[in-house]
A and B are shown apart, each in its own frame.
Chain A
Amino acid sequence: MVLTLALVVVAIFAGAIAPMDPFATVGPPLTPPSRANVLGTDDLGRDLLAGIVHGARTSLTVVLSATALAAVFGVTIGAVAGYRAGTTDDVLMRLTELVQVIPRFFLAVLVVALFGPGLDRLVLVLGLTSWPAIARVVRAETMSLARREFVDAAHALGVPAGRVLMRHILPNALPAAVVVISVNAGTVILMEAGLGFIGLGDPRVISWGYLANNAQRFLRVAWWMALFPGLAIALAVLGMNLLGDALNDLRDPRIRGRARRSPPGSVNSVRTR
């Protein structure tokens, strides 16, 4: 939670934390971390802290947009499939399975190679391929909720189906979806960083993957160039995953408050995800 919040704060106030332009030369090249350049400089004398702080912005932009896209698709498809059941469900689930086998990373590589680099297409590819897991969870929740009494009651009162889905089922299904969405956000950060690392990021904006890629040629002389960008990525993903864990604990009242006190080996302490 704190990690994710920190990431957001850093991304918003990037200009205030590191006022220099991440592409500007501010010192001698390849200087180790010092008082002037807290995290050192790269091969062109650019400040690494500025790069990382401004890179947070890039990562967050991609993650937020791609995740929003995936969430809209996942929740809609999952809810409709779970609520309508029958043929609709069959068709939508086959589609979900289809999308699920697409290797996201390799598709993104192909798209960038064909259409040229850019954050917009990265968002589209990662967003449009990340929804299956969300759809599956929402579908399962919707299916179990649709059999509850309060849904029957709504139907009996003559509430239209669309309204039952929107007002009565979805609000109850969403907490479970939020957990998957936040974990997925971590994966999207990793993908974006991986693409930047093989040189497929947007060359006009600084990103963590780009910094890590740049470090590759200087592993022998400049350990700081490799250490800090990767650390930033790991912390960001960790933040997203911890957020997912925390949300999951909140959602499940059986675990709430007992999470840390549960006896070793009990069912609660061995949840997998």
Chain B
Amino acid sequence: MSPRYLLRRLLQVVPAVAGIVLLAFVLVHTAPGDPVVALGGDHGDAAYYAFIRAKFGLDRPLPEQLLAYVASVLRGDLGQSFVHGRPVARVVAERLPATLLLMGTALALSSVAGVWLGVLAARRAARAADLALRTAALLAHATPSFWLAQLAAIVLALGTGLFPVQGFTDPRQSWTGWRHALDVLHHLALPALVLAAGELALTTRLTRTGVLEALGTDYARTARAKGLPERAVVRHALRNALLPVVTVIGGRAGMLFTGAVLVETVFAWPGLGQLMLSSILTRDIPVLLGLFVLVSAAVIVANLLTDLAYACLDPRVRYE
């Protein structure tokens, strides 16, 4: 990866972030309702309204307000939550670990299992496996994550009783240390599996296609001809086959966030999804705004990392 590529790619982040912040700003300002009335009540006098306007800088010209907003977002200040009475950044930061734990586990599960299954399917390029994979991928793509979550809750949690239905830990116990970790893991299992299921079929299918394609190339034939064991040939092929997989996984950050939020709702997992749900109910606009900006930033960063990983893995990637 050349420094030139790195710089060019990093610079692309600026307009993306600017666009998101501008969009958020425009939305808030075109929304019906006057924030001054919301803060000062219906029966305040003109002087009081003017005081509020001046206090929050609402009397300044719009471009100036935009600049102030951009500056505070860059400082990590996403405003004050109406309901919690604390900075949005703090409220969100408290919930972020749970969501990241869920997403990370699901992503790890689907990636490891998907690549393994994909290689397996490619080595036995039978029609049955192909058909099964295509069908699975189609179904996985069509199934709403919250529905899969509901079915899993009904069958696996309520039906068999093997898994807890909701929550992060068992409220009847106050374990610490490894018992606590085990308890969290027990609660994590179902939501993570459900979230991973959606991605699994895609990863498997991409890996299988990539490996099959790579096994058909000249270098794979050469490797076989010089007598390398099949395992080693597949390992060579996998390196190249994984490129598209990495790209697709990285490009699905937004979808993964959406899926996580919906799955969290079903399992009452105390992450960003729960925060979003309660903020919707209480019309806590600053929190929703902050979530939108944060998830957008996460998507932008994920895309950046994907591109950089790709450039590292594939020396052919250059900017003309």
**Chain A residues proximal to chain B, CB less than 8 Å:** 94, 97-98, 101-107, 109-111, 113-116, 186, 190-191, 193-194, 197-200, 212, 215-216, 219-220, 223, 226-227, 229-231, 233-235, 237-238, 241-242, 245, 264-265, 267, 269-272
B15-34: contact bitstring with A at CB < 8 Å (1 yes, 0 no)? 11001100110011001100
Given the complex of chains A and B, what is the CA–CA distance between A91 and B280 in angstroms? 36
A216 touches B296 (CB 8 A): no
Given contacts A215-B150, A230-B151, contact A98 B142 (CB under 8 A): no
Given the complex of chains A and B, what is the CA–CA distance between A97 and B262 in angstroms? 26
Given contacts A197-B265, A267-B213, 20 further A-B contacts (CB under 8 A): A97-B12, A101-B299, A102-B23, A103-B254, A103-B295, A106-B291, A110-B292, A113-B283, A113-B285, A197-B262, A198-B261, A198-B265, A216-B266, A219-B165, A226-B147, A230-B146, A233-B144, A245-B138, A272-B209, A272-B244
A266 to chain B, nearest CB (A): 9
Query: B208 at the A/B interface (Cβ < 8 Å)?
Result: yes
Contacts of B139 in A (CB 8 A): 234, 238
Contacts of B20 in A (CB 8 A): 101-102
Contact of A109 among B146, B147, B292 (CB under 8 A): B292
Stretch of B125-133, B218-226, B231-239 that contacts chain A: B125-133
Contacts of B19 in A (CB 8 A): 98
Contacts of A109 in B (CB 8 A): 276, 280, 288, 291-292
Given the complex of chains A and B, what is the CA–CA distance between A270 and B210 in angstroms? 9
Query: B289 at the A/B interface (Cβ < 8 Å)?
Result: yes
Contacts of A115 in B (CB 8 A): 31-32
Given contacts A197-B146, A234-B142, contact A107 B292 (CB under 8 A): yes
Contacts of B127 in A (CB 8 A): 264
Contacts of A194 in B (CB 8 A): 144-146, 258, 262
Residues of B116-161 contacting chain A, CB below 8 A: 125-127, 130, 138-139, 141-148, 150-151, 153-154, 158
Given the complex of chains A and B, what is the CA–CA distance between A237 and B147 in angstroms? 13
Contacts of A233 in B (CB 8 A): 144, 147
Query: B110 at the A/B interface (Cβ < 8 Å)?
Result: no
Contacts of B279 in A (CB 8 A): 113
Contacts of A102 in B (CB 8 A): 20, 23, 296
Interface residues on B, range: 35 or more
B147 touches A212 (CB 8 A): yes
A270 touches B208 (CB 8 A): yes
Given the complex of chains A and B, what is the CA–CA distance between A245 and B138 in angstroms? 10
Given the complex of chains A and B, what is the CA–CA distance between A186 and B281 in angstroms? 28
Residues of B290-320 contacting chain A, CB below 8 A: 291-292, 295-296, 299-300, 303
Given the complex of chains A and B, what is the CA–CA distance between A135 and B80 in angstroms? 38
Given the complex of chains A and B, what is the CA–CA distance between A109 and B285 in angstroms? 10
B143 to chain A, nearest CB (A): 5
Return 5 A-B CB contacts under 8 Å, by A number. A104-B258, A115-B31, A212-B146, A219-B165, A242-B138
B280 touches A269 (CB 8 A): no
Query: B109 at the A/B interface (Cβ < 8 Å)?
Result: no
A248 to chain B, nearest CB (A): 13
Query: B269 at the A/B interface (Cβ < 8 Å)?
Result: no
A39 to chain B, nearest CB (A): 15
B86 to chain A, nearest CB (A): 19
A241 touches B138 (CB 8 A): yes
Given the complex of chains A and B, what is the CA–CA distance between A186 and B142 in angstroms? 7
Contact of A98 among B15, B244, B281, B291 (CB under 8 A): B15
Given the complex of chains A and B, what is the CA–CA distance between A109 and B296 in angstroms? 13
Given the complex of chains A and B, what is the CA–CA distance between A146 and B159 in angstroms? 60
Given the complex of chains A and B, what is the CA–CA distance between A101 and B21 in angstroms? 13
Q: Which of A105, A193, A238 counts the most chain B CB atoms within 10 A?
A: A105
A101 touches B296 (CB 8 A): yes
Contacts of A101 in B (CB 8 A): 16, 20, 254, 296, 299-300, 303
Query: B200 at the A/B interface (Cβ < 8 Å)?
Result: no
Contacts of A219 in B (CB 8 A): 150, 153-154, 158, 165
A105 touches B209 (CB 8 A): no
Contact of B27 among A114, A230, A269 (CB under 8 A): A114
A105 touches B261 (CB 8 A): yes
Contact of A241 among B28, B142, B291 (CB under 8 A): B142
Residue of B with least CB distance to A200: B280
Given the complex of chains A and B, what is the CA–CA distance between A197 and B261 in angstroms? 11
Contacts of A215 in B (CB 8 A): 150
Contacts of B254 in A (CB 8 A): 101, 103-105
Given the complex of chains A and B, what is the CA–CA distance between A110 and B212 in angstroms? 43
Query: B205 at the A/B interface (Cβ < 8 Å)?
Result: yes
Given the complex of chains A and B, what is the CA–CA distance between A145 and B23 in angstroms? 35
Given the complex of chains A and B, what is the CA–CA distance between A107 and B295 in angstroms? 10
A212 touches B150 (CB 8 A): yes
Query: B243 at the A/B interface (Cβ < 8 Å)?
Result: no
Contacts of B280 in A (CB 8 A): 109, 113, 198-200
Query: B277 at the A/B interface (Cβ < 8 Å)?
Result: yes
